[in-house]
Copies of this chain bind each other. A is one copy, B any other.
Amino acid sequence: MNDWLHVLSEQECRWLLEQAHIGRVAVNVDGVPAIFPVNYGLLEGDVVFMTGEGTKLRAAVRNATVAFEIDGHDTRTHSGWSVVVVGATSELTSAQLQDAGRLRLEPWAGGDRDHVVRISPDSITGRRLERFPARPT
């Protein structure tokens, strides 16, 4: 591991998750990786996002293990970071849905908005790159 690559603490990862609102969900669809951008929020610290009825995303994430990613980068300083949450999905209960109603959640790709998916994290990991390496000469 190079000295310009830093592993983020879970606390740092959770802070970054609080700042952003768009991420990507990676999930297997018939054994082939698929990836979907989502608007997300945090419910009791867990990532939650909405899926529209009949969408590919909704079908894919039902009772699935998914990876959820956010990242950011500064092209001027060539620095960047990423946070990845891996865990099983579940749909919210009615009571949880009421809590989720206070979040600014909207489905990225439309459809109705009754389906809120929660990721129960098995792992939360992150990395920060202080600067990208020089180009090979």
A127 to B111, CA, bound (A): 14
A71 to B53, CA, bound (A): 22
Q: Which of A33, A39, A129, A135 lies at the interface centre, i.e. has the most chain B CB atoms within 10 A of its CB? A: A33
A71 to B35, CA, bound (A): 11
Q: Which of B73, B113, B132 contacts A136 (CB 8 A)?
A: B113
A contact patch SS? strand
Kindly list chain B residues whose C-beta atoms are within 8 Å of the C-beta of A132: 39, 106, 108
Does any Cβ of B come within 8 Å of A121's Cβ? no
Contact with B along A62-85 (1 / 0, CB 8 A): 000111110101000000101010
Does any Cβ of B come within 8 Å of A22's Cβ? yes
Does any Cβ of B come within 8 Å of A16's Cβ? no
Which A residues are closer than 8 A to B by beta carbons? 1-2, 4-5, 22, 24, 26-28, 31-37, 39, 65-69, 71, 73, 80, 82, 84, 86, 101, 104, 106-111, 113, 127, 129, 132-133, 135-136
